[in-house]
Each structure stands twice: as structure tokens, then as C-alpha cells.
Chain A
Amino acid sequence: MTHPATGVSPPRWRAFAQLVRTEASLNLREPTGLVVGLGLPVLLVVVFVFGSIPTFRDPVTALGGLSPLDVYGPVLMVFSLISLAMSVLPLRLATYRELGFLRRLAVTPVGPALLLAAQLTIYAAIGIAAIVLIMIIGALGFGLRLPGSVPGLVVTLLLAAAALFPAALFPLGLCIASVAPTAKAAGAIGGIGLFVLAFCSGLWWPLLTLPDVLRSIMEKTPTGAAVQALLGTLGGHFPSVTPLAVLAAYAVVFTLLAIRTFRWE
């Protein structure tokens, strides 16, 4: 059987560019992503430093000669990533799913996977902006020590993102497959994930102040490993292999789980 020749394949790059543009506009009109992923971590940097703790910039022995600010810099960078991964992305996807927008995309040549790619691109941009702002404000204003190894910083952040975003999609997929697949449920699950991962990153108690056993457990979590790797770059070195290997393992495991569980409808 023959068909009228088309010879035209879907212009995916054009669709992707348009999706990114549209998603960017939507993110500006409903700036949850910007507030949570960029505004909050940057605000925390300012608050921590302006906060009435003048000693925040002084080196502390318990922190291995680093100041609390130096320790919190990486924590806040990771916090930006987990906010985007755990609260912004699942909420947005679940809302789109509830609307039927993902189903609508599924009957176009493009499909919803490209929408996810566009969203990840935008959240990556927000995350990068947040991290750069944290470093600039922290370094210029308050003497935050910057990661000395740029390749180390980039590799760590990439691996952290590769672990955290699938980690958000996996429970979202489970939630959609089992219980009420609503934006509220996604928000609740993401909220729990955010809390646990923020705790493991040392947002409340810096990892360096924890007892050795607890600390080594924390450093096996995605956020704990990411912070450990980022702290490792402060001296100007590439981070040690262990935290990077931990992140890579999480990235592989969560990606596989997300692929297995996540359904578009």
C-alpha cells in the first residue's frame, strides 16, 4: 500500500524551541518556579548573612576551619535544585495532567516528553541563575568562599540534577499510578521529599557538625553527597570520587525507576 508522499519529518527542534518559549512565558506569568527556585535560596543567603549573627563569616573549628556561610553556600545551591525538582516540577506536571494537557499533547506529533524536556531546560536555567546569584551575592557582599574548581562545580551540579529530577518523577509516577492523581497529592509528596532532602543536605544542621555515623549516612543521600562534593571544591580541587559516585548511582537508579513508573496519563 502506498501513501501520498510526505517526506517531511516533524520539526522537533522548532517545536522544542516553541515549547521552551511558551513555558518560559508561563513561568513568568505564574512565577512559582522563580520564587521557590531562585527567590528563596537567594533570599536565604541574604538573610543568613545580614541576620544578626556577626560571627557567621568567621571560621569555626567544628566546621573544619570553614565559616558557617562557607558551609551554607553549597547547601543553598542544592536547596535551589531540590525546590525546583521536588515542588515546582511535580506540581506543574500534575496540573498539566489534571487539565488533560498532557493527553492533548500525546495526540500531536510531539508528545508530552518534549514538554518535560522543555520544563527541565527552564528549571535548569532558573537553577543556574540561582547558583550564580548565590555565589555573586555571597562572594561580593559577604566573603563567601567560592568553589575553586569550576569543572568540579559543574560536574557535581549536573550529577545532582540528574539524580534529583528523576527522583521527583519517580514518586510522582507512583502517585499517579496508585492514589488520587491530583496536583494536591503531587504537592504533598513533593513537600515531604523536599523536607527530607533539605534535612539530608544539612540545611538545619550542617553535616560537618553531626556525629560521624550520622554524617556518613547523610553523605550517602543525594543531597548530602552533593553538598559534600561542593564543599570538596572549596579548596580548589576536583571533588573526591565517593560523593560523585553516590550521585551517579542515584541518577541511574532514579532514572530507571522514573521510566518504569511514570505515565503520561
Chain B
Amino acid sequence: MHAGTYRVNAPANVVEVWVVPVIDVRGLCKTYGDLVAVDDLDLPVEDGEIFGIVGPNGAGKTSTVECITGLRVPDSGTIRVLGYDPMTDRAEVRQRVGVQLQECALPVKIRVGEVLELFGSFYPRAVDTNELAEALGLASHRRAYYRELSGGLKQRLSIALALVGNPELAVLDELTTGLDPHARQETWALIESVRARGVTVVVVTHSMEEVERLCDRVAVIDHGRMVACGTPSELTSQSGGVTRMSFHPSGPFADALLACLPDVTSLERHGETVVVTGVGDMVTDIVLALHGAGIRPRHVRVESASLEQAFLTLTGDATASPSDGVS
């Protein structure tokens, strides 16, 4: 794979990229009868980032994605995707946005190569399907029927179909649901390589592990509203999460060396082991302070308050597990 494979038509004017957010959703509302799925939602997705949308089941994630991709008509609010309205500029949005939908299967007897060619023929600037199949590890399965594929390969194919049109934006709903840990890791690496080519990626998930591993920024949605938006570590610290760092110092040092750091709240010693507790991004500060005193920390362990805990606090629903049961 080569850099730029998926992006032949990069905008000439770089300033424009900053002026036009990739996704700009304002005041989005969508109801189904009495059920309010999305309630006055704002969503800002910037160029080149991997943006996560997380929330408990029924929080309105999929409805939001369906409105963004033009599958559903919003009740109110404005949506701009790459500067286009998904309702009135359908054709533009569909050419430029690659979508992976939840629960979308293909005809059982369609071959991998066939469906790649088929979807490739839908787009004016499609990528080379051989290269794409190679990149996604599908090349040796080109002749296989869809129904013969494992869950992991089906997922890869569905990602391939989202990318075959050389999109500027990829929206991936339930990216790794149902995959084994190995396949998830591979998929995440793949998404990062897609982003490295300049494609903005929106990942809809309810796996906190996925958010932590993959997303630059994340919006937490609950009951159709955005309850938080920021980097995963911002969310963790916003919700009062703490970090514990333990290590064996290479030599003696005074507690005050670390205790005076702004993010450190406490320091304990258990025999040889030093345990520092604090908030935010204290680990770097600690390592630098130790280094300044000529001390090397050994056997370092860092435990962060989990994003999962932050998620449960934010959505105020400690009984429901945000994990999708795979992790």
C-alpha cells in the first residue's frame, strides 16, 4: 500500500480543510413516534481524525449515523458532510463517504472479488480492487463465496466496501463487534493505516477498549444527547478518574520531589516500591522529575482509571455494561 492510494483528489487549498469541518451536525433531532432517538445533537468532526461515537444501546448512535449518511431524514437540525447536505446533495455525499452499516450482509453466493468489482463500479474514482484486497488480506479469498467467509473476513470485506470508492470520509458502525481479539487488533491497525492516508474516520462503537485504542476524539451520546466530547484521556480525567503509577527507583529520593508536582495527589512507599496517585497527565511529569534527579524508575506499572468507568459515570447508568462482550 502506498500513501495517498485512497486520496487522489486532495483539496488544493489547505485552508479550506480547516474552514469546512468534515462533519458538522447542529441541533439534530429525530423521533420515531413517541421515541426520541436523537435530541438536539451537535457533532463536530474535523479533517483527518478518528472520531468515536459511543453510547449505550438505544442512545441514538445509529440514528445519527443514518441521518449523516442520508438514509434517514432528520426531523430538524442541519447536517453538513464535507460541506454537503446529505438530503439535497445525496449524490455528492454518496460518492465521497464510505459507509459500513450495522447488520448488513451480502448475497450468500457472491464472490469476494465479484462484490469488490461491483461496488468499485459504483464510484467515479474507485481504487484498484486488487490493491485493496491485498491491503485488507482478502487477496487469497477473492474466489470465495461470501457465506464461506469467517466473521473476521466478512468484517474486512465490509470495510473494504466502505473504502473501495476512495472516500474522503469513512463511517464505520460497529466496526469490530463479533470479532475475536486478534481480528480486532488487526482491524484497528488497518483503520489507523486508512487514516494515515488522509481519510477521516468516524467509528460508532460501544467498546471502550476500541475508543481508547483508536480514537483521537470521542463523543459520548446518551438518550440522544451528547453528554461529553473530547480526547479519551480528557474524558477520563473530566469524570474524576485517577491514575496510579508504581515503580522501583534506582536510588533514594525525597518524597517532595514528586509530591510537589501539580497533578500528584499522594505518594506511598511499600518497601522498595513507590506508588504515586494523581490525575491527568502526571506520568510524564514524574518520569522527567526523576530523570532530573538522576533516578531511573524500574518495573513501572501505570493503571489509569478506565475510560469504561468514565463512560458509566457520564451516561449515569452504572448497571448497563458498555462493553460489547468481546473484550
Contact = CB atoms under 8 A, between A and B. Distances in A.
Given A101-B106, A108-B119, A8 B125 contact: yes
Interface stretch (A14-22, A39-47, A49-57, A77-85): A14-22
Interface string A1-14: 11110101111001
A15 B70 CA distance: 21
Contacts of B117: 18
Interface stretch (A24-32, A121-129, A211-219, A247-255): A24-32
B84 A22 contact: no
B114 to A, nearest CB: 6
Contact of B122 (A10, A29, A95, A96): A10
Interface in B83-128: 83-84, 91-92, 94-95, 97, 99, 101, 103-107, 109-110, 114-115, 117-119, 121-125
B109 A107 contact: no
B105 A106 contact: no
Contacts of B69: 107
B122 A108 contact: yes
Contacts of B84: 3
Contact of B107 (A1, A6, A99, A108): A99
Contacts of B83: 1, 3
Nearest to A30: B109
A263 interface: no
Contact of B105 (A4, A101, A107): A101
Interface residues of A, number: 32
Interface in A61-113: 95-96, 99-101, 103-104, 106-110
Contacts of A2: 16
A11 B124 contact: yes
Given A1-B83, A22-B118, A26-B109, A109 B104 contact: no
A265 interface: yes
Interface in B52-79: 69-71
A109 B107 contact: no
A6 B121 contact: no
Contact of A4 (B9, B109, B115, B121): B9
A99 to B, nearest CB: 4
Interface string A194-213: 00000000000000000000
Given A99-B106, A100-B104, A101-B104, A106 B71 contact: yes
Given A18-B118, A29-B109, A100 B101 contact: yes
A8 B82 CA distance: 17
A10 to B, nearest CB: 6
A19 B103 CA distance: 22
B148 to A, nearest CB: 13
A14 B95 contact: no
A19 B118 contact: yes
A19 to B, nearest CB: 7
Contacts of A101: 104-107
Nearest to A4: B11
B12 interface: yes
A174 B125 CA distance: 38
B71 A10 contact: no
A104 to B, nearest CB: 4
B40 to A, nearest CB: 24
B204 to A, nearest CB: 14
Contacts of B123: 10, 108-109
Contact of A22 (B16, B104, B110): B110
B165 interface: yes
B179 interface: no
A107 B94 contact: yes
Q: Quick one: which of A4, A11, A29, A95 has the most chain B CB within 10 A?
A: A4
Contacts of A9: 91, 124
B20 interface: yes
A108 B165 CA distance: 9
19 contacts: A1-B20, A3-B20, A3-B82, A8-B124, A10-B122, A10-B123, A19-B118, A26-B110, A99-B105, A100-B103, A101-B104, A103-B101, A107-B71, A107-B101, A108-B94, A108-B123, A108-B165, A109-B95, A265-B71
Interface of B: 9-12, 16, 20, 69-71, 82-84, 91-92, 94-95, 97, 99, 101, 103-107, 109-110, 114-115, 117-119, 121-125, 161, 165
Interface of A: 1-4, 6, 8-11, 14-15, 17-19, 22, 25-26, 29-30, 95-96, 99-101, 103-104, 106-110, 265
